[in-house]
Structure 1
Amino acid sequence: MKNDILYFKFSDENFAAKVLRLLAWPILCAMLVFLTSCSDFDKEFTVQSANSTVEVYTDGTGFVSEFFDIAVKKAENYGGVYVDIPQRFTDASGGVHWRDFQLAAARRDGRDEYYSWENNVPGYSIYIGAEHCKNCSADLPTGLTKIQIAYWLGRLVRQEGGREVLFLPAYMGRVHGQGAKKTLTLKLPPGGTLRPSQQDRTAAYDVVRSAPNEIQVSIPAGKGDRVLPDIEVEYPAGTFVTVTSGKRVEWWLSDHFLPFISISGLLIAGLFILNRWRGWRLPACSIAVDSKETESISPALAAYLFLDWKPGAAKAAFMASACHLAMKRMLRLSGLGEDCEASDLSARQVRKKGKVARARWYGLPAVTRSVFGRIEGERPVNDRRTVVNALYGFERDLHQIVAEEYRKIRGGVDRTRLATAAIILALGVAVAYFIGLLLYSAAISGLLLIVFVVVTMFRHPERFPVATGTAEQFKQALGLMVGLPVMVIVALVYIGTTEVISEQWPYLMAILLHIAGIIAVLAMLRMPTSKQRRIRNNILNLSRYFNGEMDGPAMSVECYEHYLPFAVALDVEQRWTERFNLWRESQKMDACAPDWRISS
């Protein structure tokens, strides 16, 4: 329900198109800011009186016809008014119910008029009049004008023991909360007895039986009619049409629909997070290294996992991949330090051979093959290439290739999480729509999105494209220095100038919790899966194994060469080589130069 009085839209389509291209989503919020901040109903209109007639039928429905006498004081005005229709009510026992509503007509001065309506928690806001900006031809003429609205109300009877109670609101509609004098004429079926209210009704309004089956209610000017007690008329059982069980179930679902969808989104978010959190718990500590896990990942990924994806992991990942190539006899290395050189690059020849040789090449991880391409592209000196020189300018691509390998281990996009976030979003949008705070909620969401983008921009500038040309740089600067501040101001002004009534506050809190639930569910997309956690734990165990702190595969030449690239990735290749030399001495093996080393 609007806090301000009247509503208008910009009619300058060219200007709106330009703003839309620059600011995208906030254009609608900007329109509503001007709408709410510029409206001044009291200076342009005065509600002089309101008269309503309600005719109740024995099927439990009523036909309402209302007339509002409105004095137009200014020639330039907004061209229409909102009529608020209450549908949500609380009975004497505290139960919340919803009256059925069906609009029959909306007229101005006896002629059909343009109308639209919006949802809100107490009921509906019906706009009668053309929506436009000031200085447009649709301004209402000065003087007295009569607004008429007619509609059907249903579900006006409830059962209480052996009696039937007809309950009617003390007011049917109102124009922008104006406290004008109001008269209600109630035409009722015969046999009814007016029930005394538990509240002090006499202080709220006067009730007079003007005819045997007619009651007249007078509400004095200035009375806050939102909180007036309902008018209750008691009838003998059987006066109205008996309601079927199916209809009662339908009514119950309708009464609890809004709380249900409000709670459903929160329950879905909570259950999803709880389920994933329970599944995210770390597995029991292993007592030995799982050799199968190391066979399924590249040494480069081991380096990034061990160093927690820090920038310094690129060098360790690159050197580990070079060592991996040497272990696969794709090249030879002069050593394992940063100053090592590579020679005898044989992968190109291997790829030209038969299927077995090509399978051996393409069986290598993608990052290992990419590292070979970088080393191969270095200019050789005496058939030797400095390995670390090939890393320069390759760090970002290396990180992306390893991250892609890590995503494949994850199993692709987690569609369950995305679907859950979409369901919560849909429920949150539905709640915002039915309580009349859709744009208000969009303004809050947009404000949070802008804050997120700005924080991400400062923390991770590499994720945003860099403008190359002068025109692109100007547009980017204009968007950052003008566009974002304007959007923030628009959102804040709209949030600050829009009234949230008491009935809307609980649902607004539910919407905010929906937003928090969506953020939490999407944040879990970055959490590692059980397989990813298992691989990382195995890498940590591998480090302990290299240092002799954990059992693992029995030492052998094959074992040493298989795990040497991982030892390089974890920066313990010296300790791993020392363990191998001690084993070799215990086995009385002669020292020899391996064929993956460049001979002196």
Structure 2
Amino acid sequence: MAIRSFVRLFMQGAWCILAFGLVAIFPVGPAAAQSFSERITDFTVNIVIDHSGSISVREDISVYANGTQIKRGIFRDIPLVFALPSGFYQVSQIEISRVFLDGRDVAYRTENIGRDIRIYIGEPDQLLSFGDHTFTLIYRMKDQVSFGDGIDELYWNVTGNRWQFTIDKARATIHLPDDAVRTGFAAYTGYERERGAQFRVPKPDNGNVFTVETTEKLVPGKGLTFAVSWPAGHVVRPEGPINLDQLIRDNIGIVTGFGIWLLLVGYLIWAWSRFGKDPAGPAVIPRFEPPEGMSAAKVGFLWRNASAGRTYASRAFAVVLTSLAVKKRLSISVTGHEEYVLGKLSGKIDDLCDDEQTVFNSLFREAGVSEIIIGDEYRQEVQSAHNWLAKIYAPTNRDTHFIRNDRAWRIGWVIGTLSLLAVVLLDPSIAAHDAESYVGALVGCVIFSVGFMMVFNVLRRFWSGMSAGDGWYVRLIRVLLIGAGFMVPFFGVAVILAGVMSPVAIGVAALPVLTCALFGIWLEVPNTAFLTVRAEIEGYRRYLTMAEEDRLNFASREMGDAIAFFEKHLPFAMALDAEQVWTERFEAFLKSCASTDPNAVQSYDPAWYRDSRRGWHGLGDFGSRSAGRLGAVAVSHGAPSIPSTGFASRGGGFSGGGRGGGGGGGW
């Protein structure tokens, strides 16, 4: 045996030397060179459809081998996992009957590769001689026929679109069930999802047996696909219970993951009923003063359930500026171009709230600066003040006011991760079947789980911004842009899974992510102190927005007292989204004074606020108008930026569609 192998190797080497020598002496053109390249010279398929819906397939694959890739033989990849139109899987079984090489039995072995079964044809310890060889593969597959209203159809990818070699010609002969007559037929050539027409149907054609063949070569990536239909009744259709049982077995990952998700929902609902229900707070009654010792910006933050975050920081900036202005620490002038001129006034700041002192010191940090213009240009002092407000009024500070049941949520997260693992590890497209594939799938799930935690935090912040009613769409864009960089591993794995898993499997995998994210919020409960303060704030806001006839806010007050009263509560009204109503109440009071003083409406001319276009009436929407400008000036310049970056037999198919397919190469 060793001598025979040595002689064969010697002869092959001699032929190689001779061939290269001839090429060197007699150069050949492209056409001649192509004749020596490895390729599939003929791909002939014979398909027989029987009454059970199974098909018997014989593939005769003739190749030219020169030892480059085809050394011992070829391998053939045949898909076994298909996504149904419903989004569920169908896993087919293949029965390999015979395998030949040049008309004689030859060894073969199989290996699972994702959705495919890979069949290696050839002797592992024997090299092929150079030249033409024909590999024959005979196999049978069940449940390949699709059923429609009154018709049955076979949609079959003859060659597959993943061959390493050019296919000179391909030909498929189809045998319909006995007595069946073809009612529809279509064929497609080209790359996957193309609808090329480089084929013909040669005669004779008796309706029951017919042939389709290509008219052009199929380069790597191109293939031949056909679809044929015939009247229903010639193939036995599966009954409901059998079909349901098969559906469950083929989608065991989806079913198991969904079952664990139901367990997760049940557990989290139980945990919420025990730990997550908000306790009843004190009754809300109108009160005439804000909670003692709190700045206007903090009152607005707590009124938003301490969920305001960075978006609220822009409004808080406007609130703090207004509070500093009414306390005569600075002046605000609004130009016709919507620029804000902040002027420093004399006076101590030791008696101001902490957020007001910090903002004032940040704006006028440089000695000798008495005026700041906030327009389209970036200002470092504005950014510093804005960032500090965003930090102290961030949702992470909710822990001071809310109690999170972390233990219950972590248990839920473990259950959710098990649901995710079940969907991925048992998914037939992933095909985890041995130690290596299980380790790979587990590593992928670990990365996915880390990203899962990041997605949870993103959704939690987004939900908080929505519940606060404070520019949720802006908040969503900001959080997604910032979080994208941290979630690259998650998105990478998610994209890979989305490319191989069915839509239903992806949806079931997403369920535990969304469920844990939502219950992570719902399992938070406010503490008693926060409920008390929240009730006081709500009662105070009710007073600010109450109709004049229900609560005489400005009645029985002298003009000077009324102005001081209006200015005192204006920053709080801005923080509580009530500045428009509060300003209208004050304007109504001024108009009521017109009977004795016709110039009463014009008599209010605050020295701390100037608006060249609106006058003092601009105070009514100063907070909402200025929040966007102040926030944009603080964060949109100088900060890191992110660069922008039907039935196939009736013409509804494409190349690479349907059953069959796959591809192959040499080994």
What TM-score comes out, normalization by structure 1 length? 0.41
Superposition TM-score, scaled by structure 2 size: 0.37
